[in-house]
Amino acid sequence: MAGRKNRRFDTTLLINGLPIIHIEEKYDKHDAMEGLNQIRQYIDEGLFHDIYSTVQILVGMTPYQALYMANTDADSFNPAFAFHWQREEDSKPVWDWREFADLMLSIPMAHQMSTSYMILDGDPKHKNLIVMRPYQVYATRRVIERLRTHVFGTDAQESGYIWHTTGSGKTISSFKTAWLASRLPNVDKVVFVVDRVALTRQTFEKYSAYDPDADEDNAGVVSETANTGVLRAKLRSRSRNNSIVVTSIQKLDRLCKRDSFKAPDMNFVFVVDEAHRSTNGEMLKRIKKAFPRSAWVGYTGTPAFEGDMTHAAFGDLIHAYTIREAIADRNVLGFNVDFENTIPNTEITGQLLPDLLRQRYPHWSDKDISRKVARMSPEEVDKYIDSGVYDNNQKHVEQVVDDIVVHWRNRSKEGRYSAILTTHVGGGKSSAPMAIQYFEEFQRRNEQLIGEGKRPLNIALTFSYGTDNSEYQLDKNRGLRAAMMAYNTAFGTSFDDRTVGEYFNDVMDRLRGEAEGEKLDIVIVIDQLLTGYDAPNVNTLYVDRTLAGANLIQAYSRTNRIQDMHAKPWGHIVNYRWPETSKRLMDEALSIYANRDSAMVQDSFKDLQDSGILAKPFSEVKENTKQIVENLRELSDGFTVLPASENEQQEMANLISRFNSGVSQLKQYTEFDYDQPEQLLKELKLSDDQEKWLNGPARSELKKLAEERKSLIDVSMLDFGVEHIAEIRINYDYINELLAKLLNEVKEGAATVRATYDNFKRATDQLEDRRLADQMVATADEAMEVGELEGVTYPVVPESVSEIVRGHTARDRRQASLRFREKWGLVDVATAKLLIDRMLDRHILHKEDLADGGELSQLLADAVAERLYQQDAQDEEIRRLSPIKYRNSLRQALYEFADYVVSHY
């Protein structure tokens, strides 16, 4: 390229002569993300043009790590959408490059990834290329294989269901399933079924955007159904344009109830969204009966385990991807959960409980009541306080709104994010009056904020327009009308009683940040928006009701969509009723839906924090950030100078990034006081000038050094405010420098050996690639034991560390191989060493590939030819084996040993 440096690509995979998958490879001391960052640089320089514009998948690869993502432009490049491949059987990430190549880059998978499992999102608001994640691929493939062999009208209609946690991309998976199923020779039509009319529009728009057959001149193969008449016509149509129909279960049921309706003589596949809810009532049974030649597939983030409803409606579980796995993979966020009590403890123990106990036990004395109150556990207190204490209680509403307003800057990241408030009244009463009560209180508080010269909060209220002629209808509709008028004033719209549906759609778009004009801060709902609604701009859910089980997971998950993991590290949940009971119900629900086996309550609250499902407490995040500050203080000689070593400069850049991430999180806890920020600085033992130096001169100078000297410092780590990489990346050069320093100190007998070893160990503990970490630690441990490593040139320099570790690892592997041959009596079998080495060199973890080259058969034959094992094997039980049993046992042991070698060496 004119005016640009000459570049040399590493590896490009061509399919039918076109470059489709591009790979940048890095040495083992580097990070795979560096390969992707390098590709980003190439994209920005315009190198992916002409024939290279056909590239669809980008791969960054080291020997111990591989990441892939869809091709994009430099400005849209987002590390959050770079994925590890996973094994199908357990969803564990693949680290070894050979296993990655075997599972993802081999034929036919590479062909399938670039065709069947790519999506071109044609949404005009954000056109982009999407590559499916491994769990989406595995689930889609399993469904299609089931449908391919399904005998319509004979086989059971229930083909199975997919359990993928909310937020993990079920829309993409279900679309690919529908699109690929519509092309099967035994399928005539696919019907995608949603369980609410409100979701039909959202699903149709998504499907239409994903449809590769749709463009400006062609409507594509996805069609919507405005009413049952249109639905009936499209079900009968054999036009290619109607091969995928999106409709609601309510419309389908109304159509099937008609005496005149008879299902067309075709094979139907029904793909059902939110399958945990669609199992309710008789609708599904009626529709199945009306379409005898059909197959049914369910998609759900929260299967209905109680009563086995999802299984009964859709059949066996086809594929699972739980919330625990999704959080570990950074595909969704964990939760930061608060439990607030709007009723003071003094009022509970001094007034509420005594009054309730007197009503229940009128014969008790005051002393009996006082004794009972003193012995009650927190959860027992919750049981005594019924919902009437909270429902329509103006004082309770005022305190909830006060908590929201006071801590708005914390929870909304200084107004950047939006929230949903849900309330529900028990006892079969209407919840609309309380929702209106909240809206009116927010309006009153907004007047106060304006009077104080502060920005008011933009509030919306939404629930269905009343048509049931109940005693609540008049007040309910009046309240909704007042909310729409306030909304019109705030956003310049003109909704009224005739356009309630359009109003609701505008609220959904504005909450996502997709509508023009002012930002919407909070939406008050009863049940709407709590399931099936995706809005990455929402980070907080305020809960003034009881949530449990699947409903809790669904509601909480409105907040945990990935957006900017620096500014939005988790979804906030704030509960305002029955704190102890709410905590227990949350613990139970998260434990169930984090467990593939759906065992009841297998994890404790602490386990949920350790797994990342729940955020760490403020005190723990503060202590971690405080330790980062101390590390920065040491590296910068008391926040005065940059370190001289390039590797230490990289480590400092990483630490400043982690410091900013920690502070960003701390400021979102309610313990942080925006009016007294100096308190947090004091607790972190950091002065205002020192913080300014870190985020000002130090950061700028590091970027300047990286750019002027063209050093190895990763500049992307320094763009903290612009493009923060939330995942902590380890600087391999810094670890190599620590290991070199340790080896030299051990040889010299320096007094600082233990401190250097501890620093080295802490650094390797953060490596995701545990195999490489174990190899480096094993090298260090041997040095600590023997003093001077054999065959190593001293003083050790950081550049030689990788070679030392590889040499040490190779020697350990040779010794392990020798021990294996000694155990099985193979030392004097002339071909054994060569044959075993060949098998180990090409073996892929958990793959039965030792017999592929013929070495296994030859080794087994040579091993029993002279029966040397009967004298040479170290294990007496092995010496007593017959030749046939020896061959079978040796075969099994070889596979176990090969897996051990690949995972350790």
Whole-structure pTM value = 0.70
Maximum distance among all Cα pairs of the chain, rounded to whole angstroms: 98
Residue with the bigger pLDDT between 670 and 124: it is: 670
Average pLDDT for 687-692: 78
Task: Write the single-letter amino acid at 321.
Answer: Y
Average pLDDT for 702-727: 49
Distance set, CA 870 to CA 823, 824, 831, 833, 878 (Å)? 11, 9, 18, 19, 8
Q: Render pLDDT for 149-175 as a digit per residue (tens, 0 to 9).
A: 999 999 999 999 999 988 888 888 988
In the chain, the percentage of residues whose pLDDT exceeds 70 is 89
Neighbouring residues of 187: CB distance < 8 A, sequence distance ≥ 6: 147, 181, 267, 268, 269
Instruction: Note the pLDDT of residue 604.
Output: 43
Instruction: Note the pLDDT of residue 594.
Output: 74
Give ∠ CA 527-529-533 in degrees, rounded to 5.
145
Q: Where are the beta strands (DSSP E) in 707-807?
A: none
Give me 253's structure tokens. Answer: 């049921």
Instruction: Note the pLDDT of residue 605.
Output: 43
Instruction: Note the pLDDT of residue 728.
Output: 34
Average pLDDT for 735-761: 89
Q: Is residue 136 within 8 Å of 172, Cβ to Cβ?
A: yes
Whether 534 has a pLDDT exceeding 90, the answer reads no
Whether 59 has a pLDDT exceeding 50, the answer reads yes
Instruction: Note the pLDDT of residue 219.
Output: 61
Read off the pLDDT band of 607 (50, 70, 90).
Answer: low
Average pLDDT for 889-900: 91
Whether 725 has a pLDDT exceeding 50, the answer reads no
Nearest to 321 by CA among 114, 83, 109: 83
Average pLDDT for 198-208: 68
Instruction: Note the pLDDT of residue 724.
Output: 26
Whether 715 has a pLDDT exceeding 60, the answer reads no
The C-alpha atoms of residue 333 and residue 564 are separated, in whole angstroms, by: 11
Instruction: Note the pLDDT of residue 707.
Output: 58
Read off the pLDDT band of 485 (50, 70, 90).
Answer: very high
Instruction: Note the pLDDT of residue 30.
Output: 82
Residue with the bigger pLDDT between 470 and 493: it is: 493
Read off the pLDDT band of 205 (50, 70, 90).
Answer: confident
Instruction: Note the pLDDT of residue 308.
Output: 55
Average pLDDT for 421-437: 86
Read off the pLDDT band of 478 (50, 70, 90).
Answer: very high
Phi then psi dihedrals of residue 844, to 5 deg: -110, 135
Highest mean pLDDT among 294-308, 328-342, 798-812: 798-812
Average pLDDT for 701-730: 49
Instruction: Note the pLDDT of residue 275.
Output: 73
Average pLDDT for 52-81: 90
Nearest to 783 by CA among 813, 817, 748: 748
Read off the pLDDT band of 214 (50, 70, 90).
Answer: low
Whether 734 has a pLDDT exceeding 80, the answer reads no
Average pLDDT, the chain: 85
Distance set, CA 469 to CA 428, 466, 475, 496 (Å)? 16, 7, 11, 19
Instruction: Note the pLDDT of residue 188.
Output: 94
Q: Is residue 763 within 8 Å of 780, Cβ to Cβ?
A: no
Neighbouring residues of 362: CB distance < 8 A, sequence distance ≥ 6: none
Q: Is residue 12 within 8 Å of 51, Cβ to Cβ?
A: no
Read off the pLDDT band of 440 (50, 70, 90).
Answer: very high
The C-alpha atoms of residue 402 and residue 51 are separated, in whole angstroms, by: 60
Residue with the bigger pLDDT between 645 and 596: it is: 645
Instruction: Note the pLDDT of residue 706.
Output: 66
The C-alpha atoms of residue 881 and residue 42 are separated, in whole angstroms, by: 61
Read off the pLDDT band of 658 (50, 70, 90).
Answer: confident
The C-alpha atoms of residue 638 and residue 407 are separated, in whole angstroms, by: 34
Q: Render pLDDT for 790-808 as a digit per residue (tens, 0 to 9).
A: 889 999 998 899 999 999 9
Q: Render pLDDT for 70-115 as a digit per residue (tens, 0 to 9).
A: 999 888 888 778 999 999 887 788 999 999 999 999 989 999 999 8
Instruction: Note the pLDDT of residue 198.
Output: 57
Q: Is residue 71 within 8 Å of 48, Cβ to Cβ?
A: yes
Instruction: Note the pLDDT of residue 389.
Output: 79
Whether 456 has a pLDDT exceeding 50, the answer reads yes
Read off the pLDDT band of 4 (50, 70, 90).
Answer: low
The C-alpha atoms of residue 401 and residue 584 are separated, in whole angstroms, by: 24
Whether 368 has a pLDDT exceeding 50, the answer reads yes
Q: What is the DSSP annotation of 108-126?
A: THHHHHHTTTEEEE--TTS
Instruction: Note the pLDDT of residue 293.
Output: 95
Read off the pLDDT band of 723 (50, 70, 90).
Answer: very low
The C-alpha atoms of residue 178 and residue 210 are separated, in whole angstroms, by: 11
Whether 3 has a pLDDT exceeding 70, the answer reads no
Give me 394's structure tokens. Answer: 């103006």
Instruction: Note the pLDDT of residue 407.
Output: 94
What is the per-residue burial (b if ≥16 Cβ within 10 Å, else e) of 692-711?
ebbbeebbeebbebbeeeee
Instruction: Note the pLDDT of residue 49.
Output: 86
- Give the ranges where 297-431 is alpha helix by DSSP (H): 309-314, 323-328, 345-347, 353-360, 366-375, 378-384, 394-406, 408-411
Read off the pLDDT band of 890 (50, 70, 90).
Answer: very high
Instruction: Note the pLDDT of residue 765.
Output: 63
Instruction: Note the pLDDT of residue 726.
Output: 27
Nearest to 648 by CA among 727, 762, 737: 737
Average pLDDT for 368-393: 80
* Ordered structural domains, the chain, with CATH: 11-118 (3.90.1570.50), 134-321 (3.40.50.300), 343-389 (no CATH), 391-594 (3.40.50.300), 618-713 (no CATH), 825-904 (no CATH)
The C-alpha atoms of residue 322 and residue 589 are separated, in whole angstroms, by: 12
**Beta-carbon count within 10 A of 417 CB:** 25
Instruction: Note the pLDDT of residue 408.
Output: 94
